[in-house]
Amino acid sequence: DSGVTQTPKHLITATGQRVTLRCSPRSGDLSVYWYQQSLDQGLQFLIQYYNGEERAKGNILERFSAQQFPDLHSELNLSSLELGDSALYFCASSVSEGLGEQFFGPGTRLTVL
Amino acid sequence: KNQVEQSPQSLIILEGKNCTLQCNYTVSPFSNLRWYKQDTGRGPVSLTIMTFSENTKSNGRYTATLDADTKQSSLHITASQLSDSASYICVVSASRGSTLGRLYFGRGTQLTVWP
């Protein structure tokens, strides 16, 4: 158990819908990272927040957005969902703003029908 | 172009045997290199992390090596167990001084250990 929690574990929805994925970092960690892992694809970095502020952006679509709240939990919002958005979404956390050790959560499996 | 290439793409070995996974990278400026183990459907778990000055690091039956000159790393697994069946991911970070760098992920090597 990494100490990072993600909810829900599974999510099934239809095209065009909007969903919110939630992540709670390890106690004491200030950075939260979001990743997407499609079937047979490697991990794709989406976005990083540090202490409530956006710090780095990767291959995140404009239909996707994220935020980190004062209690340091983070939410990833996915809108106008397409079939291709079906994937595992991982959250990771780390103590520092930089590229230190990251601890991954168990992931949320999103299925878009 | 910053890239991380892993080989082989997949590997099948018998329980108790050793194996070595390879990672070649072109990421610059190099900051550190990590190896993660990812069980199917679960989040990656860190095995080792190495900086420029380190060329070997062990974690139990896992030993990672780094040659910063040739930009190659390997992960050696000794006396494999069924539970070693997983995807092994090489991740290289690029640093730009005090500013946040980037992480570059390999596609992973899928290891299957047979009894």
Express each pLDDT in A50-82 by its tens digit: 999 998 888 899 999 999 999 999 999 999 999
Q: What is the largest CA-CA distance in chain A?
A: 38
A60 touching chain B per CB within 8 A: no
Chain B: nearest CA to A11, how far in angstroms?
14
Q: A55 and B100: CB-CB below 8 Å? A: yes
- Contact indicator for B4, B88 with CB cutoff of 8 Å: no
The mean of the pLDDT values for chain A is: 92
- Closest residue on chain B to A2 (Cα): B45
DSSP annotation of B83: G
Does the CB of A67 have a partner CB in chain B at under 8 Å?
no
Which pLDDT does position A99 carry in this prediction?
65
Helix (H, G, I), strand (E, B) or coil at A10: strand
- With H, G, I as helix, E, B as strand and everything else as coil, classify residue A83: helix
- Could you give the maximum distance between any two Cα atoms of chain B, in Å? 48
Q: Which phi-psi region, left, alpha or beta, contains residue A103 (left: φ > 0; alpha: ψ -120 to 50)?
A: beta
List pLDDT tens digits, range A88-110.
Answer: 999 999 988 776 788 999 999 99
Q: Do A97 and B100 touch (CB under 8 A)?
A: yes
Segments of chain B scoring below 70 in pLDDT = 96-101
In angstroms, the CA A86 to CA A103 distance is 23
pLDDT of residue B28: 83
Considering only CA atoms, which of A23, A86, A88 is closest in space to residue B40? Answer: A88
A2 at B interface, C-beta within 8 A = yes
* Model pLDDT, residue B99: 45
Is residue B95 within 8 Å of B103, Cβ to Cβ?
no
What pLDDT is recorded for position A96? 82
Q: Calculate what percentage of chain A has a pLDDT beyond 90.
A: 80
What is the structure's pLDDT at B29?
A: 84
Using CB atoms and an 8 Å cut-off, which of residues 12-51 of chain A contact chain B? Answer: 41-45, 48
